[in-house]
Amino acid sequence: MRKKNSLLLCAVAVMLCFTACKSSEEAAEYNTAAIDQTTEFMINYCANADETMLKQWRSMREFSMELQLTQAGVPATPESFLGALDAWEAAVEECGAYVSHGDFTSEETNEGLKVSASAQFEDRDATISFVFDDKSYMESMTVDAEYSMGEILEKAGLNTVLGMGTVFTVLIFISFLISLFKFIPALLGAKKKEEPSVAPVQSAAAQTSAPAVSEAAKEDDTELIAVIAAAIAAAREEAGMDEAAAGGFYVRSIRRRPSNKWNS
């Protein structure tokens, strides 16, 4: 019984695996007729669109654009549709005006179904590629210009020259800045020489102010002597003494004592 149950379980698992694979294969099927119609419509529309139409589409709101795409039966989102217009405009600037294109080839990728065809423009050939999801909605359109080996090498050489030129220009500028560093000590030395010139001016000012201070001190001493002499004379007059009896007195000098004992 256990062996029978295990065999039944294995059979059920195998059936589920087969049904899952079948459903995934059915989900991976694409509507090739709708995809071919969409690719042809997009190429013809982009080739005939002028600047006025492009400005009108780019100025349109997302809801209005989605409504118009739905009414026109174009299976594309507003983002993918605008991206296709931008890619075509860039391709025309790079490759020239559109001439024709060949047959489409399709292959399944991780992104979806990729449909591509070689196209001829006035200046150079290019490859037009479309990517569709499982619901046959266009996700993106790109136009890749084809360059010869000589053009590729020429572009690589120009990029190398521009890169090396930029690097050398920056290095020359840095070396020029470093060469200016030698002038910094000279500038600092000149500033240091200018600073001591202030001291003589200050000393001269001090010398000129010193005699004025000493003269002011002398004037203060003479005034003090006169005041003391007047005070002594007044005291003698009050005591009834005259200059003849006292024999006269003269104040010859005044000296300051180190400490005043009268205040103690």
Residue 160 lies in a domain: yes
Q: Is residue 110 domain-shared with residue 165, that is, in the same domain? A: no
Q: What's the pLDDT score for residue 115?
A: 93
Q: What's the pLDDT score for residue 182?
A: 81
Rounded CA-CA distance 141/104 in Å is: 13
Domain range for 55: 28-146
Q: Is residue 134 domain-shared with residue 43, that is, in the same domain? A: yes
Q: What's the pLDDT score for residue 221?
A: 66
E-assigned strands of 109-151?
113-121, 125-132, 138-145
Residue 166 lies in a domain: yes
Residue 46 lies in a domain: yes
Q: What is the CA radius of gyration of the chain?
A: 54
Residue 199 lies in a domain: no
Query: For residue 120, which of 140, 102, 141, 103 has the smallest C-alpha distance?
Result: 102
The count of domains in the chain is 3
Q: Is residue 80 domain-shared with residue 62, that is, in the same domain? A: yes
Q: Is residue 244 domain-shared with residue 168, that is, in the same domain? A: no
Q: Is residue 156 domain-shared with residue 139, that is, in the same domain? A: no
Cβ proximity of 140 and 133 under 8 Å: no
Q: What's the pLDDT score for residue 241?
A: 55
Rounded CA-CA distance 142/139 in Å is: 10
Rounded CA-CA distance 93/83 in Å is: 16
In tens digits, the chain (264 residues) has pLDDT values of: 444 444 444 443 444 444 444 444 444 578 888 888 899 999 999 999 888 999 999 999 999 999 999 998 889 999 999 999 999 999 999 999 999 999 999 898 888 899 999 999 999 999 999 999 988 889 999 999 988 888 788 888 888 988 999 999 999 999 888 888 888 887 777 767 666 555 454 555 455 555 554 555 555 667 777 777 777 777 777 666 555 454 555 556 666 666 555 554
Q: Is residue 124 domain-shared with residue 48, that is, in the same domain? A: yes
Q: What CATH number should be reported for the domain holding residue 139?
A: 3.10.450
Q: Is residue 80 domain-shared with residue 137, that is, in the same domain? A: yes
Q: Is residue 85 domain-shared with residue 115, that is, in the same domain? A: yes
Residue 76 burial (10 A CB sphere; 0-12, 13-18, 19+): buried
Q: Is residue 75 domain-shared with residue 138, that is, in the same domain? A: yes
Q: Is residue 105 domain-shared with residue 74, that is, in the same domain? A: yes
Residue 87 lies in a domain: yes
